Structure 1
């Protein structure tokens, strides 16, 4: 465990991203996350539409290896214009 995080790596880590439901958001998220976690697959994703179906929340569970890896994933997700936010 490092001083700047409470996580012990490697660990299973869920990443949630939300965007409009009019694009292939799951494909986009896999593409972005796989830059930093190449072992991610569609089976690692769970999708949940908003009440009215306008938005889609996708949770991707990855095997995280470091805080720097997670920071890079979140930065790439939030930099993309089709992703509204990532948690």
Structure 2
């Protein structure tokens, strides 16, 4: 390891380049639906209970059929992000998660 650090000091840095905790923006896209933002917020809050729904960014597509949401969470681990991505990606209302 660089600088004389061993694996116990760096954690699982081989798994991710992120250092936790970190503010992490999630981009979630789906078809425009009245409940879409609320559904996404509920999923995000299950994984990041300190997420403030008032900070959710919303942007409709140019044609108005889709909506893009940006939820910036305080990520505490790669496992947390992986679980959140899995749940969002598997939701039937969600088309894409970045």
Q: If the TM-score is normalised by the length of the shorter chain, which range does it land in? A: over 0.9
What are the within-5 Å matches in structure 2 for residues 23-38 of structure 1? 23-38=34-49
- The answer to whether the Cα contact below 8 Å between 1:21 and 1:55 also exists between their aligned partners in 2 is yes
Q: Please state if 1:16 is matched with 2:36.
A: no
Which residue, out of 48, 57, 61, partners 1:50?
61
* Unaligned runs of at least 5 residues, structure 2: 1-9
**Please, which of 59, 73, 80 is the counterpart of residue 70 of structure 2?**
59
Pick the aligned partner of 2:83 from 37, 48, 72.
72
Q: CA deviation at 1:44?
A: 2.2
Aligned positions, number: 87
Alpha-carbon RMSD across the aligned residues, in angstroms, is: 1.0
TM-score by length of 1: 0.94
Give runs of ≥4 in structure 1 deviating > 3 Å.
Answer: none
The answer to which structure has the higher helix fraction is 2
> What residue ranges of structure 1 are gaps of 5+ in the alignment?
none
Residues 36-63 of structure 1, C-alpha deviations (whole Å, 9 max, x = no match): 1001122221000000111000000000
Larger Rg: 2
- Tell me the TM-score normalized by structure 2: 0.84
